[in-house]
Amino acid sequence: MPPDQLTVTLDADGDIGILTIDHPPVNALSPTVVRDLGASLDEFDRRGALRALVLRCTGRTFCAGGDIAAFDEPGFSPAPLNALLERLEAGHRPVVAALHGTVLGGGLELALACHARVAARGTRLGLPEVRLGLLPGSLGTQRLPRLVGVPRALQMITRGEPLEAGEALAAGLVDTISDGDPVPAALDRARALAEAGGPLRRTRLLPLALGDEARQALAQAYEQARDRPQEPALEAIARCVEAAATMPWERGAELERESFEHCLRSAPSRALRHLFFAERRVGRRAGGPESAAARAVRHVGVLGAGTMGRGIAMCFADAGLDVTLVDTAPAALERARAAIGQVYEAAVARGRLTPDAALERQGRIRTARDDTALAGCDLVIEAVFEDLALKREVAARLGRVCRPGAILATNTSTLDVDRIAEATGRPADVVGMHFFSPAHVMRLLEVVRGARTDAAVLRTVVQLAREVGKVPVVCGVCWGFIGNRMAEVYMRETEFLLVEGATPGQIDAAIESLGMAMGPCRMLDMAGVDVGARTVIERDRDGGLPADPAYRIVCRALFERGRHGQKTGSGYYRYEGRRALPDEATLALCAELAQRHGIARRQAIGTREIVERLMFSLVNEGARLLGEGIAARASDIDVVWTAGFGFPRHLGGPMHWADETGLEQVVQGLNRWAAARGNAHGYWSVSPLLRALAQGGGRLARWEPPGA
Ligand code: 3HC
Ligand code: NAI
């Protein structure tokens, strides 16, 4: 938009003013919009002949709230907007909001300050600030309870989930629902209010008392806040909503202002805001021109009906696409059909799907034993065993069987996508689609760009992934791509620490103290020590490991002893049911391995050492991926870790965590460990990018490659 073009204008329909916010794409309330809104209200004041005002927004949605990007600007405050809302509400001429699309955050707070609200059917209204580690900052905590009561307001603000127009009507949040464009209905309403001439319904003046139900809801909100201390906004929300019911308006408003500013500066909110933009940035400029036209995908083929194949099939069937699932083993197909049936039955039992919808989704998945059934598919994803020779054989067949123009994808988690692509005879059509298990649930998809992948293929897959609800992070070809390659250095240090004398319990506790849901030992026990060990053994066979005889010896030894983790009753820990208990046998094994490899044991390995060795290695590997061009931007790495590896969202991902910790400190730590541990295998060599950013006072999360 040209800088001099107004984002808010005032027109009229007869004697009713129409105030229009036009600030694509989502009419966020940037400082410019707030300024223009003020100017339009000044004009409305001057045009005394106008008897009422309708407030509307153009484009696909009403208003998505405050401009999140502006929150980082020095001196940002919602005070100017709040003053306008007060002015709007206090005016003597009726103001009616005409709502459509999504009415979120500051957008809903704007509507709450109007004297009536008309919503198009299908409109969604909510206060999602909590998802950004915030509370509403434009008097939402004060006005919403006055309109819908304390329990409903607490539910909406603490969950951040929007209400659909019908629910909003029932809750008293909107007054009228319109079919189609809400503006004519809002004009009628504005006229009627002007003609009635009675007192206007000002939300801030509505009475609010604290009854039993409200007290109970508040008690629950405080309890939830105590259980989730990593989300400080929860307590602030409860306190502000309580204030709405127990304190004069001005004091409630003041408390909300202080709490909002406090949360805005808090580490969890910085992390969540970082992820908000990070998730929207993934897949952009993923290689090749943005203009490359995407190919149409209506019918998806999946080859291999094992754990991953089934999940992938459901992911597309859930999104309304036709799927053909092929496996050469009849028993595998039978198991897949049964497993898919169970998933949908469970969804029906939990009330998440109607029986008809479940049948419809299941009906979209056809199964076959012969890969010629894939001939007409637009996209075929192979998910056969992780074996390069087999994958190449299958790729060659798919290259012949699939129609020209069909996209051929591989779900390999570690193998060389270029070598698989080459075997198809049409590498431009080939791309990696690395789903995470369970594939119909996990949001992350690593989209692997091969050396010869066509830009249109990449674009199609990124677009399709978004359509089916995934977050597609594009990366280049290397062992383990982004997530598994980084996880490998984290596990490497875990195992060295074990051999040096730390216990699994100490390591997990140190990592969990950062806010991680699960430390590495419990994590691998759950995922399967056998799965981890096989990957290491396979990589060793391919010559991909450092020439270090002590490399990941613990998981290999556990594997040899049949200690495959939770499923076999022992791994790093021993298990009583799902309860992980310390196991003397693991400690003895680690001591034995130390002796065999000449590694000195130490008595006291502290939390700081554990955190630094695991986390600094992780960050360093992430920086190497950036330097090598495997990852396009640091924020992509953070999305991989938060969407696919359970890294806590309130820490923002490893690269954001590194920025918050201080890059200089990370580099110093890496150097310190290089000196203490030796660096014969390059484990502690600092990534040149990390070093340069640390020296220049830069931040990883803001870094993008030159020319991006
Ligand atoms: N501020 C700044 N930019 C925003 C924004 C916001 N509130 N909401 C969306 N955007 C941007 C996105 O970053 C994206 O930009 P890009 O095209 O450059 O990547 C663009 O708008 C489109 O957004 P989506 O890709 O998310 O579009 P969808 O159509 O999928 O979703 C939406 C639209 C449902 C509105 C979704 O964007 C959304 O949930 N937005 C955030 C809503 C929110 O959290 N509001 C509260 C803000 S905090 C606030 O209001 C504080 C107040 O109380 C003081
Ligand atoms: P799986 O062992 O559960 O299933 C593999 C299936 O492929 C079996 O049903 C088998 O019958 C079938 N198959 C083998 N050869 C075939 C052929 N020539 N034609 C048709 N079908 C054939 O394996 P899983 O776990 O589903 O893994 C599949 C792929 O997904 C592997 O590449 C793996 O690395 C990858 N992956 C696995 C993840 C996991 O958590 N299991 C996560 C991400 C990727």
Assess whether pLDDT exceeds 90 at residue 27: yes
- Ligand 2, atom 30, residue with closest C-alpha: 383
Assess whether pLDDT exceeds 80 at residue 400: yes
Assess whether pLDDT exceeds 70 at residue 660: yes
Assess whether pLDDT exceeds 80 at residue 706: no
Q: Which of 2-11, 30-39, 483-492, 513-522 has the lowest mean pLDDT?
A: 2-11
CB 337 within 8 A of CB 313: no
- Ligand 1, atom 34, residue with closest C-alpha: 102
Q: Which of 213-227, 277-291, 658-672 has the lowest mean pLDDT?
A: 277-291
The DSSP result for 665-694, as a single string, is HHHHHHHHHHHHH--TTSTTPPPHHHHHHH
Please state whether 484 falls in left (phi above 0), alpha (psi between -120 and 50) or beta. alpha
Assess whether pLDDT exceeds 80 at residue 672: yes
Report how many helices (DSSP H) and strands (DSSP E) the chain contains, helices first. Answer: 29, 19
C-alpha 356: how far from its chain's center? Answer: 30
| Average pLDDT score, the chain | 95
Alpha carbon distance 175, 92 (integer Å)? 20
Alpha carbon distance 88, 86 (integer Å)? 5
pLDDT tens-place string over residues 436-482: 989 999 999 999 999 999 999 999 999 999 999 999 999 999 999 99
Alpha carbon distance 232, 350 (integer Å)? 31
Alpha carbon distance 620, 480 (integer Å)? 16
- pLDDT computed for residue 111 by the predictor: 98
* pLDDT > 90: percent of the chain: 92
Q: Which atom of ligand 1 is nearest to the CA of 124?
A: 34
- pLDDT computed for residue 291 by the predictor: 63
Question: Ligand 1 center to residue 65 CA distance, Å?
Answer: 7
pLDDT tens-place string over residues 299-313: 999 999 999 999 999
Which run of H or E residues covers position 33? helix 31-46
Cis status of the peptide bond prior to 25, with omega within 30 of 0? yes
Q: Which residues are catalytic, by number?
A: 109, 129
- Ligand 2, atom 37, residue with closest C-alpha: 308
Alpha carbon distance 337, 331 (integer Å)? 10
Assess whether pLDDT exceeds 60 at residue 548: yes
- pLDDT computed for residue 284 by the predictor: 82
Burial 143-168 (b: 16+ CB within 10 A, else e): bbbbbbbbbbbbbbbbebebbebeeb
Residues in the chain: 708
CB 276 within 8 A of CB 353: no
- pLDDT computed for residue 659 by the predictor: 97
How would you classify the pairing of strands 116-120 and 102-104? unpaired
Other CB atoms within 10 A of residue 662 CB: 12
Alpha carbon distance 567, 532 (integer Å)? 14
Query: Range(s) for CATH 3.90.226.10 in the chain?
Result: 8-265
Please state whether 231 falls in left (phi above 0), alpha (psi between -120 and 50) or beta. beta
Question: Ligand 1 center to residue 125 CA distance, Å?
Answer: 14
The DSSP result for 139-162, as a single string, is SHHHHHHHHH-HHHHHHHHHH-PP
Cβ contacts of 685 within 8 Å, gap of 6 or more: 674, 679
Please state whether 62 falls in left (phi above 0), alpha (psi between -120 and 50) or beta. alpha
- pLDDT computed for residue 708 by the predictor: 61
- Taking the CA of 311 as reference, the closest ligand is 2
pLDDT tens-place string over residues 524-535: 999 899 999 999
CB 633 within 8 A of CB 622: no
Average pLDDT score over residue span 655-679: 96
- pLDDT computed for residue 517 by the predictor: 84
Alpha carbon distance 174, 172 (integer Å)? 6
Q: Which residues line ligand 2 (CB under 6 A)?
A: 303-309, 326-329, 332, 383-386, 390, 394, 411-413, 434-437
**What is the identity of the amino acid at 707?**
G
Would you place residue 542 in the very low, low, confident or very high pLDDT band (cuts 50, 70, 90)? confident
Across the beta sheet with 95-99, the strand order is: 8-13, 16-21, 52-57, 95-99, 116-120, 176-178
- pLDDT computed for residue 75 by the predictor: 87
Across the beta sheet with 124-126, the strand order is: 102-104, 124-126, 163-164
- pLDDT computed for residue 287 by the predictor: 60
* pLDDT > 70: percent of the chain: 98
- Taking the CA of 471 as reference, the closest ligand is 1
Which run of H or E residues covers position 118? strand 116-120
Alpha carbon distance 581, 464 (integer Å)? 44
326 by DSSP, 3-state: which?
Answer: strand
Question: Ligand 1 center to residue 68 CA distance, Å?
Answer: 8
- pLDDT computed for residue 74 by the predictor: 87
- pLDDT computed for residue 2 by the predictor: 57
Q: Which residues line ligand 1 (CB under 6 A)?
A: 25-26, 28, 61, 64-69, 78, 102, 104-106, 109, 128-129, 132, 136-138, 140, 277, 280
Alpha carbon distance 492, 673 (integer Å)? 14
Query: Range(s) for CATH 3.40.50.720 in the chain?
Result: 299-475
- Start-to-end C-alpha separation, the chain: 22
pLDDT tens-place string over residues 73-125: 988 999 999 999 999 999 999 999 999 999 999 999 999 999 999 999 999 99
Q: For the domain bounded by 299-475, which CATH number is listed?
A: 3.40.50.720
pLDDT tens-place string over residues 153-211: 999 999 999 999 999 999 999 999 999 999 999 999 999 999 999 899 999 999 998 99
Q: For the domain bounded by 8-265, which CATH number is listed?
A: 3.90.226.10
Q: Which atom of ligand 1 is nearest to the CA of 107?
A: 50
Average pLDDT score over residue span 145-159: 97
Alpha carbon distance 416, 421 (integer Å)? 9
Query: Range(s) for CATH 1.10.1040.50 in the chain?
Result: 478-509+517-590
Fold of 478-509+517-590: N-(1-d-carboxylethyl)-l-norvaline Dehydrogenase; domain 2 (1.10.1040)
pLDDT tens-place string over residues 201-255: 999 999 998 999 999 999 999 999 999 999 999 999 999 999 999 999 999 999 9
- Taking the CA of 237 as reference, the closest ligand is 1
Alpha carbon distance 37, 26 (integer Å)? 16
**Which pair of structure tokens corresponds to residue 246?**
């127990």
CA torsion angle 689 691 697 701 (round to 10):
40
pLDDT tens-place string over residues 355-392: 999 999 999 999 999 999 999 999 999 999 989 999 99
Cβ contacts of 422 within 8 Å, gap of 6 or more: none
Average pLDDT score over residue span 636-661: 95
CB 408 within 8 A of CB 430: yes
Question: Ligand 1 center to residue 104 CA distance, Å?
Answer: 9
- pLDDT computed for residue 540 by the predictor: 92
**What is the identity of the amino acid at 223?**
E
Assess whether pLDDT exceeds 90 at residue 315: yes
